[in-house]
Structure 1
Amino acid sequence: MKSQQSHVKALAGKLLVVDDEPNILSSLKRCLVKTPFEVYVANNAQEGLAIMQEHNIQVVLSDFRMPHMSGAELIEQIKSTYPDVISMVLSGFADFDSAIGLLNSGAAHKFLRKPWNNRDLIDEIDGAFTEYHTRLLNKRVLEGEHNPEYYAFEQAVRDQFEMQQEFCLVSLKIKDYDFLEQHAGPNIFKGLLTEIRGLVNSELPQGSQTFAFDSGKIFIIIPDYESEAIIHSRLSAINHKLNEPNTQRQGCVKINCVMGYALAPSDGDSPSSLLENLRSAFSVDNVEKERLCRFDSALRDVQRRQLKIKNSINGALRENQFYLHFQPKVHLPEQKIDSAEILIRWQHKELGWIPPNEFINLSELDGQIEQIGEWLITQSVKMIAELHQFSPDLKRVAINISACQLANNSVVEQFARLLEQYALPPSLIELEITESCLIQDFEQTLKVLQALKSLGLSIAMDDFGTGYSSFAYLAKLPIDVLKLDKVLVDGIEGCKEIQSMIAGLITMCHELGISVVAEGVEVAGQVDLLKLYGCDYIQGFHFSKALPKPEFEQILLQQPFNTEVQ
């Protein structure tokens, strides 16, 4: 066993310790106080995830049993969001069987027992940091960064920080590098690098350094720059010259080059933070158009917000933070509200009300949309059953269905089970799908939609008018309702072409037995034209925003609905 002094040589790094027992945290802090580790502590998983967002944590030591979010859920979330981090469980032996799944999946590196031996625990943490750096080194090898040039680059960045002066770090990417190398030969990069270094020497301050790697990555260090405006101007000049056709290039005339840059220490006060922020500069939306983009702290704030939202979704589902609102639909021939669309709302404990598009889009990226969709269907059917008891005249309520829910038959089984549970007439439920649902796997989507239709549910195509091939789907799918997108409705008053298209579309739908709903209706003039063209239903702020269930119930009592009054 190592002596206590041996730990002075342990690898330094940032360690996060998570445990809901204050006494445990205090004991661990005392145990680790003389180690080189920079220790952060959290009383729960949510607090731990917040720390992960703010600091470059390399190793996590977490309890297993914790309220709200367990250690298992925390470690799985960390593995998904921070794949390089090494996570370990520190818990009682009774939790070992439950933690086996974490160990087998690779999400957890080791299971450590409570109570612990201080020396052994420090050894294990030291080993975890060694594992972290080993994996990082192996990753660099796979990425082609394990070469003298990369180490020279890292050292040059560290030297700039040690000089304690401002400098600019630039990353240049040749986007079609692999294609160029394949078709123009392996020496193409050598010629491009010579050209780039010539531009650096002519356009940038003396002492600027260029570092290039076989993968086509190029970094430029610009020391002691005059001002950001001047640097931006000079980098723009370089980028313009690189992207314009050049007949003097050997093997290629045109290349596609983008650049990002960050300023130290304002954009990062350490080599790791500066490089991380520089990488995030390339995720700015307009980098493709501008070809040059500086790291923006506002972007980092957006990314942190997005991460907080993604990390909070599972907890929000458990704690019933989501709400359902109902936006009425007015049946124009009768001027009566007999249907509605269910819309999901979320009031985050810290962020307040989050726009549905924001959290829905984020949940689709990492698969959490499946849990949200399952919750939405269950709660929606329950509320529709309650509304049916309140107002038997209610004809139909729409529920939005995502593409991933149509990927298998589980959604059919869920509706069949819920219809039986609540003894609900299936005709009360309408499912709204978008064209994106059809693009992924048309045959599978068609199969599931037909199964849902066989249960007695209605199918509506949402956002019609924003896609490219929606017309082709009308005759192929079991569509009962078509919803005109707000983009079309917005232009109806001032554009004869849109008026003609909507009138023709409504006529065609009626010939196919399809009802038409116009959504996003905001002014009386739109209502008048849609009435004229025979539109069946109107939905939008002109009549009502989405309402909580009690307020929607009150509107159902106000019949017929006056479509002339906003």
Structure 2
Amino acid sequence: MSVDIRTAVVPDSILAGWQQTVDLVSEIASIPAVLIIRDQGEELQVFVASDNQTNPFSKGSHDVRGSLCQAFVRHENPLHVADIAQHPEWQACLAEMHGMVSYYGLPLYWPCGQVFGTICILDSRENNYADNIRSLLARFQKTIEADLDSMARQARLEAANEVLTQLHERQQQELTELRGQLSKEVDNRASMAQTLEYVQRYDALTGLPNRAALLSHMEHILAVNTNQQFAVLYIGLQNFKTINDSYGYLVGDQILQTVSDRLRHDLAGNFYVARVTGNEFVVLLVTSRIEELTVRLANRLSHSLNQPLVIDQQNITVPIKMGLAMSPADGPDASTLLKKAGAAMNLGKVSGSAYTFFTDSMQLALDERCRLESHLVDALKNNEFSLHFQPLIATESRKLLGAEALLRWFNPVLGQVRPDQFISLAERNGQINDIGNFVLRTAIEQISNWYRLYKYPMRMAVNISPVQFRDTGLVRYVADLLAEFQLPPSMLELEITEGVLMQDEYQATRVINALKRIGVGVSLDDFGTGYASLSYLQKYAFDTLKIDRGFIAHLDNSEQDRELARAIIAMAKKLKLNVIAEGIETQEQNDFILEEGCDCGQGYLYGRPVPALEFAASHLETQTFAIDDEQMAIA
């Protein structure tokens, strides 16, 4: 009996299992996009997509030709492209992949040999995909094909039921065979359930328990004995991103595996070792002699883990920091102890200590952060945010060239809260995109109103958070605001710091070029404070360079700072960049940058950040409105 299964409907129970599969792969491999794509002949369909915010592909799309070219998806063997940009034969796909640049996929077949589609993983960076990730994907490939086999058998079973009265004896024989096959499928599913339970509780790269397993273990200890003494040692590998950038992610993975092997080798008995996040591990020590043994253990691990690691015949030293918290003194529950140990580790990065115990002062800092976070959650809804504006001034004529929008937060309980106190909190709790969008909208609306009222061309500078910069919808949002308020794009300049560029150079290039295409200016803020700022001037199409105030503050008494400022201004002029000196507070500083050819300054000498009405009264209403070359250069 011939049954066409190519158009078969996948049952919800199987779909749920596939969704769980792609979500797990995405979580385990830290991959933005994991997809199951179904080949329907005339079109491709994103059948299942990992459910995470960084996945640009949407489940249910019936024509993905605009997202992935069909030739890229329709492959008969495992296909791996570490960086599509480096392969001319795949260049046509690069623009259609929503920022993804690497691909690894396995074909999926019906039991009759017909193509069902593919299961694939895509990353926004170059990725060679470790063997354990490939093996995990291959295992899920077999499971999915087992589901397809089960569906095919079910389809044949239903067809057989329709002719039951005519082919009774033949049907009985077929049903017997199918029952045996379904029994095997039940066994396969039971085995797969065990595998899923394992990957949910253990780290795929190192084989160590993960954060969820650690918390469960700690909660079990506390449930048995609430006064049980144990120490949490939170271990962080320092400079790990730099190592990944310098040696590659494969070497980074080998370092993590080597560190986990050292921990297993060095620890035995009443120890529990887990990998809780990318480059962070936790050791749990349960003992009655908690203080004495914790210090001895911290010293031993510090000595062991700070020894050079031999990776691919290279000696690589990875400094570590440890934070320590102890039960019951530092907290009554597992998550609190883990958080406090992590906080102590982060403080150790600043203090330089090999290991740091959680203290009362840290508790005060944590309490203060929690207090800020509790008010920050509703700050935007309660209209507690506002913008102040600081002028950008021509150093010679003192004419207004532009303004920088600066965020302010006044809370009825906390009073005025400094940006350096709440911006990092907003980045951690996910509010920064909404807050950043508020700043963009308010700043663009304000300069649009000023332009219509005073007809005075100037530029509005707006700082962009690294988290906001990674938002794939940033450029579209900016373009929509410019259109909504009918503002010329040249009157807007977005300021980014070196930290934005260090996180993802490919994303930075793509976003900066997209902003330039719509006519928006891009400024490199705080120039000179980072180790690689000079190289960024070669890589990215900046319009403006802002000299960090640290070089300006000591111009009067530091020959070195004068020479550095002089060199930065000269270099920027050679590169045809606008130059803004921040932190100008004295006439002598103004005269220096003017003499060196820096034609724009910002600082208290020209004006402090003030609300919009006060800014207009102090700067716009006093300007002469003849447009000269300086204004045209900015606007």
- How far off its partner does 1:520 sit? 1.8
Given the superposition, is the C-alpha separation of residues 495 and 242 from structure 1 closer, same or farther in structure 2, using an over 3 Å criterion? same
- How far off its partner does 1:337 sit? 2.8
> For 1:51-200, what aligned pairs fall within 5 Å after superposition?
144=209, 161=227, 169=231, 171=233, 192-193=266-267
Q: Which runs of 5+ in 1 are unaligned?
A: 1-78, 81-134, 198-209, 247-251, 561-566
Does structure 2 conserve the Cα–Cα contact (< 8 Å) formed by 1:401 and 1:433?
yes
Q: What's 1:28 paired with?
A: none
Given the superposition, is the C-alpha separation of residues 303 and 140 from structure 1 closer, same or farther in structure 2, using an over 3 Å criterion? farther
Given the superposition, is the C-alpha separation of residues 419 and 169 from structure 1 closer, same or farther in structure 2, using an over 3 Å criterion? closer
Q: What's 1:370 paired with?
A: 433
For residues 302 and 260 of structure 2, the distance between their equivalents in structure 1, rounded to whole angstroms, comes to 24
Q: Which runs of 5+ in 2 are unaligned?
A: 1-51, 54-195, 239-252, 276-280, 309-314, 625-635
Does structure 2 conserve the Cα–Cα contact (< 8 Å) formed by 1:175 and 1:257?
yes
Q: What's 1:551 paired with?
A: 614
Does structure 2 conserve the Cα–Cα contact (< 8 Å) formed by 1:262 and 1:278?
yes
Q: What's the CA shift string for 1:358-413, capped at 9, x where partnerless?
A: 33333333543222222222111111122224433352221223445555774444
Q: What's 1:466 paired with?
A: 529
Q: What's the CA shift string for 1:241-294, capped at 9, x where partnerless?
A: 667879xxxxx9x99775544466553357875566445433434388312211
- How far off its partner does 1:240 sit? 6.8
Does structure 2 conserve the Cα–Cα contact (< 8 Å) formed by 1:412 and 1:452?
yes
Q: What's 1:433 paired with?
A: 496
Counterpart of 2:456 in structure 1: which amino acid?
D
For residues 547 and 152 of structure 1, the distance between their equivalents in structure 2, rounded to whole angstroms, comes to 51
SS at match of 2:352: helix
Does structure 1 conserve the Cα–Cα contact (< 8 Å) formed by 2:404 and 2:462?
yes
Does structure 1 conserve the Cα–Cα contact (< 8 Å) formed by 2:219 and 2:333?
no
Q: What's 1:346 paired with?
A: 409
Indicate which of 324, 331, 348 corresponds to 2:387. Answer: 324
For residues 511 and 342 of structure 2, the distance between their equivalents in structure 1, rounded to whole angstroms, comes to 41
Does structure 2 conserve the Cα–Cα contact (< 8 Å) formed by 1:408 and 1:444?
no
Does structure 2 conserve the Cα–Cα contact (< 8 Å) formed by 1:181 and 1:189?
no
- How far off its partner does 1:535 sit? 1.3
For residues 265 and 483 of structure 2, the distance between their equivalents in structure 1, rounded to whole angstroms, comes to 71
Q: What's 2:278 paired with?
A: none
- How far off its partner does 1:533 sit? 1.0
Indicate which of 446, 454, 462 corresponds to 1:391. Answer: 454
SS at match of 2:493: strand
For residues 193 and 185 of structure 1, the distance between their equivalents in structure 2, rounded to whole angstroms, comes to 11
Does structure 2 conserve the Cα–Cα contact (< 8 Å) formed by 1:172 and 1:257?
no
Given the superposition, is the C-alpha separation of residues 315 and 222 from structure 1 closer, same or farther in structure 2, using an over 3 Å criterion? same
Q: What's 1:83 paired with?
A: none
Q: What's 1:484 paired with?
A: 547
Does structure 2 conserve the Cα–Cα contact (< 8 Å) formed by 1:168 and 1:261?
no
For residues 548 and 390 of structure 1, the distance between their equivalents in structure 2, rounded to whole angstroms, comes to 17
Q: What's the CA shift string for 1:35-61, capped at 9, x where partnerless?
A: xxxxxxxxxxxxxxxxxxxxxxxxxxx
> For 1:7-46, what aligned pairs fall within 5 Å after superposition?
none
Does structure 2 conserve the Cα–Cα contact (< 8 Å) formed by 1:338 and 1:393?
no
Does structure 1 conserve the Cα–Cα contact (< 8 Å) formed by 2:388 and 2:408?
yes
Indicate which of 513, 528, 544 corresponds to 2:591. Answer: 528
Counterpart of 1:161 in structure 2: which amino acid?
N
Q: What's 1:207 paired with?
A: none
Q: What's 1:286 paired with?
A: 349
> For 1:262-341, what aligned pairs fall within 5 Å after superposition?
262=325, 266-268=329-331, 277-278=340-341, 280-286=343-349, 289-307=352-370, 309-310=372-373, 313=376, 315-341=378-404
Does structure 2 conserve the Cα–Cα contact (< 8 Å) formed by 1:432 and 1:459?
yes
Q: What's 2:603 paired with?
A: 540
For residues 545 and 466 of structure 1, the distance between their equivalents in structure 2, rounded to whole angstroms, comes to 23
Given the superposition, is the C-alpha separation of residues 517 and 156 from structure 1 closer, same or farther in structure 2, using an over 3 Å criterion? closer
Does structure 2 conserve the Cα–Cα contact (< 8 Å) formed by 1:242 and 1:255?
no
> For 1:500-511, what aligned pairs fall within 5 Å after superposition?
500-511=563-574
For residues 481 and 169 of structure 1, the distance between their equivalents in structure 2, rounded to whole angstroms, comes to 51
> For 1:439-450, what aligned pairs fall within 5 Å after superposition?
439-450=502-513
Counterpart of 1:422 in structure 2: which amino acid?
F
- How far off its partner does 1:334 sit? 0.5
Given the superposition, is the C-alpha separation of residues 403 and 257 from structure 1 closer, same or farther in structure 2, using an over 3 Å criterion? closer
Q: Is 1:361 the equivalent of 2:424?
A: yes
For residues 244 and 430 of structure 1, the distance between their equivalents in structure 2, rounded to whole angstroms, comes to 45
Q: What's 1:493 paired with?
A: 556
For residues 404 and 151 of structure 1, the distance between their equivalents in structure 2, rounded to whole angstroms, comes to 33
For residues 442 and 173 of structure 1, the distance between their equivalents in structure 2, rounded to whole angstroms, comes to 28
For residues 536 and 259 of structure 2, the distance between their equivalents in structure 1, rounded to whole angstroms, comes to 44
SS at match of 1:290: coil
SS at match of 2:427: helix
Counterpart of 1:505 in structure 2: which amino acid?
I
SS at match of 1:268: coil
Counterpart of 1:424 in structure 2: which amino acid?
L
Counterpart of 2:600 in structure 1: which amino acid?
Y
Does structure 2 conserve the Cα–Cα contact (< 8 Å) formed by 1:328 and 1:539?
yes
Given the superposition, is the C-alpha separation of residues 437 and 172 from structure 1 closer, same or farther in structure 2, using an over 3 Å criterion? closer
Q: What's 2:134 paired with?
A: none
Counterpart of 1:347 in structure 2: which amino acid?
F
Q: What's 2:13 paired with?
A: none
Indicate which of 466, 472, 485 corresponds to 1:422. Answer: 485
Give the alignment's TM-score, normalised by structure 2: 0.51
Q: What's 1:453 paired with?
A: 516
Given the superposition, is the C-alpha separation of residues 266 and 518 from structure 1 closer, same or farther in structure 2, using an over 3 Å criterion? same
For residues 493 and 267 of structure 1, the distance between their equivalents in structure 2, rounded to whole angstroms, comes to 49
Does structure 1 conserve the Cα–Cα contact (< 8 Å) formed by 2:234 and 2:342?
no
Counterpart of 1:361 in structure 2: which amino acid?
S
For residues 497 and 464 of structure 1, the distance between their equivalents in structure 2, rounded to whole angstroms, comes to 16
Given the superposition, is the C-alpha separation of residues 260 and 401 from structure 1 closer, same or farther in structure 2, using an over 3 Å criterion? closer
Given the superposition, is the C-alpha separation of residues 231 and 520 from structure 1 closer, same or farther in structure 2, using an over 3 Å criterion? farther
> For 1:216-235, what aligned pairs fall within 5 Å after superposition?
218-220=283-285
SS at match of 2:606: coil
Q: What's the CA shift string for 1:213-244, capped at 9, x where partnerless?
A: 5878644467589xx8x999877766676678
Does structure 1 conserve the Cα–Cα contact (< 8 Å) formed by 2:551 and 2:564?
no
For residues 473 and 221 of structure 2, the distance between their equivalents in structure 1, rounded to whole angstroms, comes to 55
Does structure 2 conserve the Cα–Cα contact (< 8 Å) formed by 1:242 and 1:257?
no
- How far off its partner does 1:502 sit? 2.3
Counterpart of 1:469 in structure 2: which amino acid?
A
Does structure 1 conserve the Cα–Cα contact (< 8 Å) formed by 2:581 and 2:600?
yes
Counterpart of 1:494 in structure 2: which amino acid?
N
- How far off its partner does 1:441 sit? 4.3
Given the superposition, is the C-alpha separation of residues 511 and 140 from structure 1 closer, same or farther in structure 2, using an over 3 Å criterion? closer
Q: What's the CA shift string for 1:161-202, capped at 9, x where partnerless?
A: 38xxxx7846375969x969966996x6676347xx9xxxxx
- How far off its partner does 1:159 sit? 5.6
> For 1:202-241, what aligned pairs fall within 5 Å after superposition?
211-212=271-272, 218-220=283-285
Counterpart of 1:453 in structure 2: which amino acid?
K
Does structure 2 conserve the Cα–Cα contact (< 8 Å) formed by 1:239 and 1:259?
no
Q: What's 1:516 paired with?
A: 579
Does structure 1 conserve the Cα–Cα contact (< 8 Å) formed by 2:235 and 2:345?
no
For residues 288 and 401 of structure 2, the distance between their equivalents in structure 1, rounded to whole angstroms, comes to 69
- How far off its partner does 1:519 sit? 0.6
Does structure 1 conserve the Cα–Cα contact (< 8 Å) formed by 2:323 and 2:348?
no
Q: What's the CA shift string for 1:406-442, capped at 9, x where partnerless?
A: 5577444434433343333333322222233334444
